[in-house]
Structure 1
Amino acid sequence: MPRTPSVPPSPTGPVRLGPDARAVLRPATVGLDAGFWHTRREVNAHTSVPQGPGLLESAGNLHNLRLAAGTAEGEFRGGYPFVDTDVYKWLEAAAWQLAQEPSGDLEAHVDRITALVADAQQPDGYLNTWFQLVKGGERYQDLRWGHELYCAGHLIQAAVAHHRVTGRTELLDVARRFADQVDSVFGPPGSGKPIDGIDGHPEVETALVELYRETGERRYLDLAAYFVDRHGHGLLGGEAYCQDRVPLREATNVEGHAVRQLYLLAAAADLATETGDPGLRAAAERLWQAMTTTKTHLTGGLGAHHDEEDFGDPYELPNERAYCETCAAIASVQWSWRMALLTGEARYSDLIERTLYNGFLAGVSLDGERWLYVNPLQVRDGHTDPGGDQSARRTRWFRCACCPPNVMRLLASLEHYLASGDDDGLQIHQYVAGRYRSDLAVVRAETDYPWHGTVALTVEETPADRPWTLSLRIPEWCREFRVRCGDRTYDAPAADGWLRLERTWAPGDRVVLELTLEPRLTAADPRVDAVRGCVAIERGPLVYCLEGVDHPGGGLDDVVVDTTRPLAVKHRPDLLGGVTTVVAAGRRRHLPDPGWWPYAPADQSPRHPRQEGEPVELTAVPYYAWANREDGGMRVWLPTS
């Protein structure tokens, strides 16, 4: 007999909507048990997350907490006022990981570090080791650079995760005391509070919304709304860098520091969801559209400039100087997921897919032990690496170590960004092997996506005698697809990117989705000067790149791809943990030395005679897997002439 689902959606995700939320969709969850993302999460669970306490110890983060608690002696370690956030992001990652797989060792580390954080907190709730130890207790005097509220935000998010997973309140109590202290100090003119101000790095805003969702305390939501609306009023000098040039409701394009902009917009989406504020919703939709059409790299990466880690002008999308910070990719996923829930539109999950498989996943090595802070789309032959946070070589840890624990927390909570439910059914946003669970149904998925395009879905649990809708996102990159459901076949989605299958389901009913994964050549908008006359190779959700290690006998700077020859696909189980490569025809030109001057008048013959060059077989690997072998050149965009 058909059954009502016995397993409700998990309540432990990073986004849990309030009872009066205006979202179209609600987060569901997925139990991953095989396939691509299961493998990446296993590496995160058994390598990346467990190494966190040791790295935080060696970098001095935990030492600083002991100093603040008065249980150690010595000097503050670290050159930034926000080093506490590395601890908080790791605690959040560990909490989400404990929800997946109990671990006595991991739980012991969480308990030990939670107690250390609690001991470092001051009696009135304030907590920031930099200002407690280095600045002699000075508070909120350097909001542009001090990041005190940014630190509070990550503490709150860690505490919410810990409470949702364990039901315990030790860390939540610490976070609430800090939030209450902030609420007692910050407020608009006329509120009677001493500071009308914002943090130079948004983060506390979305954290406060989640604290409201966890506790039901409306004042946390109101405080988040105050902070969001005070950005852009010159409180920090009016700079775009720290989201202070123009109020969010009036902005027409994303600007300034990419991560700061995206965290602020995630909060705007949260507030629009919880309050129904039409101005914030309109701004979030407008800015998302502007970002994706003019300031997003092919990989989903965001941020054109190294100097201020910021967005450039529209269509300013460089290759070798692309910043594309890993944290910006994570913030993009967080914002787009909130927009997908708020609006129900598939386009937001299209960007999530592109970002997850490319701009985000490149940030961590295949072994889970080394990281990229920046994610360029080209590394030239003979590249001189600056090292440090801007290195194009994978690094064990960073002086500014924001990205590694950020990656850990997203991978540990990834199942909460894959599916949603509503009163009418289940929506599958991302295709993975495992069980999708909503209030109405449990659906089992079997797939080897993204290497193969077949997704077989089996209904395992469903209500009796009640029709509901299974909605499948048809990716924007997909040229052809077919869905078989019973005796019917579908090959056209709705205009909003969803294919909706409504019927009265029974256990054992099957749906087979077949996405065509032919490799393709992609060209950029001609206004993107950096890649005019170039193409990139894509297959399914994956962006591909060339690496020098696969092309001995010369570098990549002189390689030209032949767009008249077909692309071939070759699966390589022996390469980079098992990948599908794309093979293209090309040529490598060996040009003579240009002499003392590489330029010539345009109306004269070119400096070098035209050369066809020697034929070369080009092997493209998934971008997420680059920089896992020897150092060398890399490029995503390939010249055609």
Structure 2
Amino acid sequence: MPRVPRIPCAASPVGPVRLGPAARAALRPATADVTAGFWHSRREINARVSLPQGPGLLESAGNLHNLRLAAGTAEGEYRGAYPFVDTDVHKWLEAASWQLAQQADGELESEVDRIIALVAAAQRPDGYLNTWFQVRESGARYQDLRWGHELYCAGHLIQAGVAHHRATGRTELLDVARWFANHLGQVFGPPGSGRPIDGIDGHPEVETALVELYRETGERAYLDLAGYFVDRHGHGLLGGEAYCQDRVPVREATDVEGHAVRQLYLLAAVTDLATETDDPELRSAAERLWHAMTTTKTHLTGGLGAHHDEEDFGDPYELPNERAYCETCAAIASVQWSWRMALLTGEARYSDLIERTLYNGFLAGVSLDGESWLYVNPLQVRDGHTDPGGDQSARRTRWFRCACCPPNVMRLLASLEHYLSSGDEQGLQIHQFATGRYSYGAMSVRAETDYPWHGTIALTVEETPRDRPWTLSLRVPQWCREFRVRVGELSYDQTDAPVSDGWLRLERTWAPGDLVVLELELEPRLTGADPRVDAVRGCAAIERGPLVYCLEQVDVPGGGLDDIVLDPTRPLAVKHRPDLLGGVTTVVAAGYRRRLVEDGSWWPYRAADPAVPSTGALVELTAIPYYAWANRQDGSMRVWLPTS
């Protein structure tokens, strides 16, 4: 196969987003090294358990077999029900590459090399690569852009190639990715361009991947191709459906709609293009649509997607509980988009949503042992729930027929350090709190914290420019109502601290050893929803710090949860349980069980208000972090609790 020229390995930091030299962004990614605590533990399980299982699962599901079929080195039937199964391989390669960027692992590197060789062998001489169409469809290409997902697969391949190059400096996979991207540039283009196809993919992904390939190689053609794909959405090329972001051009859109993951991947690319091209119209669209999403279509957990049918956003304030879709991949896409928005604008609100999503809607998608997964993340499982199994299951599953979520989780956890901090000419910004080291240029601080269980974050300056002031900025979470900060001999609280737009900005000429201690109040709280959210009217949810809590049937005496009523007048208590679910802080509340007044009805509808609280003893309710549910026995679960 012809090869593209070799390019040098770019400088650090290593991560999924590396802004171009001319990018018009307020912030740039900094370097973080998480060494202990909550996220270190979750990432260790990803590295030791989830990632090593990837090749075996991809083998048993047939993904690697299909690559051999496409390469002509194996015989047999194609395995898999969808034309996009290649992406599971590409996402695993990306995840493994980010892991290799952090620590040497000879066995993992060997598996990566082996699978890269399979991918390269399957690629056609002109750069095309999609095993479904090469094997099952006898080489037919681009005949069904709405469902074929050829460009979607290309996008994940490109991201894997970029990740592998950034992590290792090697170009084997990047060569494959660039060759495919060059092929796309010869095939796709607007009318009058001389290219044979004016078209877009039914599943956006290639757009943001092409921007990153431009950032990695400096080749403007990739950025231009990404811009072409973004701007052709909404012009009826796929039938004009909202499902695949083809109803309204993104520059004119006023609301997020259609398939949630597809919408968010597209908007990540919109933000990338706004950053690299300084396009004010694209920036305005991104800000407008993010606001619409967060104010009317985002669940308490950060989850996105109201409908199982077509996996899409519903109407504004249509946020069901037991039928919430909240696909794990949508949570991941939300983090990716919000991080790009945080870099573009410098505003803390985007990292507020990242925190909420990471700790809740995202982390629930993988089991505590790293071996099983949730595709959908409902906010309620009713008593007597009949589980449909498969991709719609409310029970953890070893793998899926459509296995997009597991390797997607792997790649976000493997690259998580990238989303924690940033820098600019003024200094260093810490977006997410974890024990470890944060650095940007000549500035570095060491953080120690037991967050999210405790709210104290101690930061020690390790390196600093000599005789020059700079600003250490700490995000004060949106949920936090009280905090204190101590800087040397000075102490502030929320009434007099220098906080602006969610950032606590501390400017001075720092010296090595200077200590900053931020204390965030973590009292548990009850949260209510906008009254327009019909599904949870009259309900409350328990939160503490960044964590959303839920009840599980196994923790509540007396049976199920459907008849539980929370007593909001009783205080909430906190109890740390090192013996439970890997060590969690629980919130203990009080409630009652309803007593239904029997009226002889043979159907579930009765006269108004027949349910009254029991006059018996209170029921103690032990709430656990939502991310930890579905790790014990099957049973009911709920986040929103009736209060009357």
TM range (shorter): over 0.9
Counterpart in the other structure of 1:391: 393
Aligned residue among 597, 600, 603 for 1:597: 603
Letter in 2 for 1:390: Q
Counterpart in the other structure of 1:5: none
Deviation at 1:553? 1.7
Determine the C-alpha separation between the residues in 2 that align with 1:88 and 1:317.
33
Counterpart in the other structure of 2:106: 104
Aligned residue among 300, 306, 309 for 1:307: 309
Counterpart in the other structure of 2:6: none
Determine the C-alpha separation between the residues in 2 that align with 1:598 and 1:420.
55
Cα deviation code 1:460-489 (max 9, x no counterpart): 111110100000000000010011001212
Deviation at 1:600? 3.7
Paired residues of 2:565 and 2:613 also in contact (CA < 8 A): no
Aligned residue among 334, 338, 341 for 1:339: 341
Q: Counterparts in 2 of 1:435-474, with a 5 A limit?
A: 435-474=437-476
Paired residues of 2:566 and 2:641 also in contact (CA < 8 A): yes
Deviation at 1:599? 2.3
Counterpart in the other structure of 2:85: 83
Counterpart in the other structure of 2:4: none
* 2:621 equivalent to 1:618: yes
Letter in 2 for 1:536: A
SS at match of 1:585: strand
Q: Rate the CA distance shift 1:620–1:608 in 2: closer, same or farther, 3 A.
A: closer
Paired residues of 1:9 and 1:28 also in contact (CA < 8 A): no
Counterpart in the other structure of 1:3: none
SS at match of 1:248: coil
Counterpart in the other structure of 1:165: 167
Cα deviation code 1:347-375 (max 9, x no counterpart): 00000000000000000000000000000
5+ residue gaps in structure 1?
A: 1-7
Aligned residue among 514, 518, 537 for 2:519: 514
Aligned residue among 562, 565, 583 for 2:567: 562
Paired residues of 2:242 and 2:257 also in contact (CA < 8 A): yes
Deviation at 1:389? 0.3
* 2:633 equivalent to 1:627: no
Paired residues of 2:557 and 2:619 also in contact (CA < 8 A): no
Deviation at 1:11? 2.8
Deviation at 1:535? 0.1
Deviation at 1:442? 1.1
SS at match of 2:596: coil
Counterpart in the other structure of 2:7: none
Letter in 2 for 1:101: Q
Paired residues of 1:588 and 1:614 also in contact (CA < 8 A): no
Cα deviation code 1:294-329 (max 9, x no counterpart): 000000000000010000000000000000000000
Paired residues of 1:589 and 1:613 also in contact (CA < 8 A): no
Alignment RMSD: 1.2
Determine the C-alpha separation between the residues in 2 that align with 1:256 and 1:9.
38
Determine the C-alpha separation between the residues in 1 that align with 2:484 and 2:612.
50
Q: Rate the CA distance shift 1:261–1:70 in 2: closer, same or farther, 3 A.
A: same
Determine the C-alpha separation between the residues in 1 that align with 2:558 and 2:477.
38
Determine the C-alpha separation between the residues in 2 that align with 1:158 and 1:18.
19
Deviation at 1:612? 3.8
Counterpart in the other structure of 1:249: 251
Determine the C-alpha separation between the residues in 2 that align with 1:231 and 1:443.
44
Q: Rate the CA distance shift 1:137–1:441 in 2: closer, same or farther, 3 A.
A: same
Deviation at 1:590? 3.9
Determine the C-alpha separation between the residues in 2 that align with 1:170 and 1:265.
29
Counterpart in the other structure of 1:579: 584
Determine the C-alpha separation between the residues in 2 that align with 1:447 and 1:139.
53
Deviation at 1:609? 6.0
Q: Percent identity?
A: 84
5+ residue gaps in structure 2?
A: 1-9
Letter in 2 for 1:616: V
Determine the C-alpha separation between the residues in 2 that align with 1:409 and 1:462.
32
Paired residues of 1:9 and 1:438 also in contact (CA < 8 A): no
Moved more, 148-157 or 97-106: 97-106
Counterpart in the other structure of 2:415: 413
Determine the C-alpha separation between the residues in 2 that align with 1:592 and 1:507.
69
Letter in 2 for 1:505: W
SS at match of 2:128: coil
Determine the C-alpha separation between the residues in 2 that align with 1:342 and 1:17.
10
Counterpart in the other structure of 1:18: 20
Q: Counterparts in 2 of 1:219-238, with a 5 A limit?
A: 219-238=221-240
Aligned residue among 54, 65, 74 for 1:63: 65
Aligned residue among 140, 143, 147 for 1:141: 143
Determine the C-alpha separation between the residues in 1 that align with 2:184 and 2:331.
29
Determine the C-alpha separation between the residues in 2 that align with 1:443 and 1:612.
56
Determine the C-alpha separation between the residues in 1 that align with 2:171 and 2:436.
31
Counterpart in the other structure of 2:509: 504
Determine the C-alpha separation between the residues in 2 that align with 1:590 and 1:46.
49
SS at match of 1:577: coil
Cα deviation code 1:96-139 (max 9, x no counterpart): 00011111100000000000000000010000000001111110
Deviation at 1:440? 3.0
Q: Counterparts in 2 of 1:27-42, with a 5 A limit?
A: 27-42=29-44
Deviation at 1:424? 1.2
Deviation at 1:494? 2.8
Deviation at 1:490? 2.4
Determine the C-alpha separation between the residues in 2 that align with 1:236 and 1:395.
33
Letter in 2 for 1:185: V
Deviation at 1:552? 3.0
Determine the C-alpha separation between the residues in 2 that align with 1:243 and 1:19.
31
Counterpart in the other structure of 2:639: 636
* 2:328 equivalent to 1:322: no
Determine the C-alpha separation between the residues in 2 that align with 1:155 and 1:246.
28
Aligned pair count reads: 631
Letter in 2 for 1:568: A
